[in-house]
Structure 1
Amino acid sequence: YKQTTQTMNQLVVTASAQSKRPAVIYNRRITAKLGVPYYQVDSNRITIELFKVNPGIYHGYAMKVKLKDPTAMKMSLGNDKLGGSETTMRAVLRHGAIAGINAGGFADGDGKRYPLSTTVLNGHYLTGFQSSFKDLSFVGLSNDGKLIGGKFYNQGALDSLKPAFGATFVPVLLQRGQKVPIPDKWKVSPKRAPRTVIGNYKDDQLLIIVVDGYNESGGSGATLEELQGKMFNLGVQDAYNLDGGGSSSLILNGRIVNKPSDGNLRPVPTHFLFYK
């Protein structure tokens, strides 16, 4: 009986190790395309790896994130109120996060900065559901920690994905591993810019790329087509453009990783935060 128990235990250990092998092999394959991480954070909730992205035309940073706990990523609202805005650094420090990026677009009015279109926080619609119009798309995380996004023309379609949080911007870059045509308007206004894009791999790891640029005049940074091609070549499945220009920001372990084009961080209403 004792020997049988030992044999069973050994089988369980072996099966467990073998079941993890495909995941390890897949991770090695995608990491090989990114190069060697120059900074890493690892805990029982999250793994973050930071890489440099420098194809010669533009310069940026890639942050690969494995959410071991779905609650290790959240969205924050500027000063915790509708119409409020704050820098990503302030949001990270205020909420005790290890990392953060800017999230959705915004509209200014009455001296306040409001998140653009459909915005979900803690499973609730902040300003109700707005059917996707023009090129706008929603991007966020489901309750089980998976990236969700795209155009939603009725609330039921988005509700069925059980969004925990999310924000809106433009455009969709990849869906199901295929390039989505970029509307002509967004190819040129501006052509090049600082950018923040987010995507996911087949194993639900996230990849965020933040690109530097000198300003928002269109002469520096990356084009959307370049970043679409980059994400595609890296094996990303779904990818979405977040707010860019002076809004682009990447904070990791208490420091500003990118070089904000305004010279300092811009206060924006929504941020995606990551917790150790």
Structure 2
Amino acid sequence: MDTAHDAPRKPRRRRRIIIASTLAVALSLGGGAAWAMDRYLIQHVSISDVSEYEAENSETAGAITETTNATVTDTTYSSDQADITISTVTTGSGDDTVTYYVADVTLTDATALRSAFAGDAFGTNITETTSEIAEDNNAIFAINGDYYGFRDTGIVIRNGVVYRDEGAREGLVFYTDGTVEVYDETSTTADELLADGAWNTLSFGPAIVVDGQIVDGIEDVEIDTNFGNHSIQGDQPRTLVGVIDDNHLVFVVIDGRDTGYSKGATLTEAAEIMISLGATTAYNLDGGGSSTMYFNGEVINQPSNGGERGTSDILYIAGSSA
């Protein structure tokens, strides 16, 4: 690959990130409240210009070219980098109705699936909506990511650059050769993954399908059951990533908390949906009010908060520059 080639960039719509320097106010609330506010509410920016940082640190980023030839309809997108087909599925009736949105994605190059951070910044508690981040990155398609910014653990590799190396849970890694694997973060390091060709990692979970089978015990798994987070069990809105084959992925957003339209899904029900779509591996991402699918300039699902909820990151495929 010619790493000296720099693709033209679309001008970014900059948003001012307000770093709350009002910790003194929080401290007046008392020790526990002040700690919680600082940990979960106040923005902490570690890298303020991720685009520049990745251009300087990724061996692969410079070789990526923008899509110039593409066709798009209400439900499809085709370019020299990716083919996307969007479908909507409704099952059941009455209180048992479930509605979900499927993006079947075939990539020509695995690096066409990219990640982007809210505000083009890396840190904690930095959020924008999925559609805002998507628009800032000229995305034709996007889903919410793993909300890395809610926590300070997990291995975070994005677009071939290491941002965090604090293995804590079961992760998902996308490699530049088009393969995708579930892995134990605590048994490796970010540098080792990068040396093996890691392009993006996700740190949420759990894995719900492995080798084409529903993973045992997924209804008992808890993710980040610390202050400010909730159980992922029961009928919930879901965002899911599935692997059908090398460079053939399926992304699913299941709506929920809306009786008669969509009740959501348990992890087992989500796994069954992914298997029905041909996924041999499937992984659960941040869900609930965060679950969002964006395509061709619009949010196509119905987020359970009545509108989009801010998140820290997205997975996306860039659209045509022409």
The TM-score range, normalised by the shorter chain, is 0.7 to 0.9
Cα 1:209–1:116 shift into 2, 3 Å: farther
Of the candidates 270, 275, 286, which is equivalent to residue 227 of structure 1?
270
Q: Distance in 2 between matches of 1:116 and 1:94?
A: 26
Q: Is the 8 A contact 1:105 1:115 kept in 2?
A: no
Alignment of 1:1-276 (within 5 A): 39-56=75-92, 57-81=97-121, 82-83=123-124, 84-106=126-148, 108=150, 117-127=154-164, 129-132=165-168, 136-152=169-185, 153-155=187-189, 158-159=193-194, 161-186=196-221, 189-214=232-257, 220-276=263-319
Fraction of identical pairs, as percent: 27
Q: What is the Cα deviation at residue 197 of structure 1? A: 0.5
Root mean square deviation, CA, Å: 2.4
Which residue identity is paired with 1:154? T
SS of 2:240's partner is strand
Contiguous gaps of at least 5 residues in structure 1: 1-36, 109-113
Tell me the TM-score normalised to structure 2 length. Answer: 0.65
Q: Is the 8 A contact 1:46 1:275 kept in 2?
A: no
Q: Is the 8 A contact 2:218 2:267 kept in 1?
A: no
SS of 1:201's partner is strand
SS of 2:135's partner is helix
Q: Is the 8 A contact 2:171 2:182 kept in 1?
A: yes
Contiguous gaps of at least 5 residues in structure 2: 1-72, 223-230
Q: Distance in 2 between matches of 1:116 and 1:53?
A: 35
Q: Is the 8 A contact 1:140 1:166 kept in 2?
A: yes
Q: What is the Cα deviation at residue 189 of structure 1? A: 4.1
SS of 1:59's partner is strand
Cα 1:115–1:209 shift into 2, 3 Å: farther
Q: Distance in 2 between matches of 1:162 and 1:239?
A: 20
Cα 1:98–1:71 shift into 2, 3 Å: same
Cα 1:274–1:60 shift into 2, 3 Å: same
Cα 1:98–1:259 shift into 2, 3 Å: same
Listed one character per residue, the Cα deviations across residues 251-272 of structure 1 (whole Å, up to 9, x for unaligned) are 0000011101111111111210
Q: Distance in 2 between matches of 1:100 and 1:250?
A: 6
Cα 1:250–1:189 shift into 2, 3 Å: closer
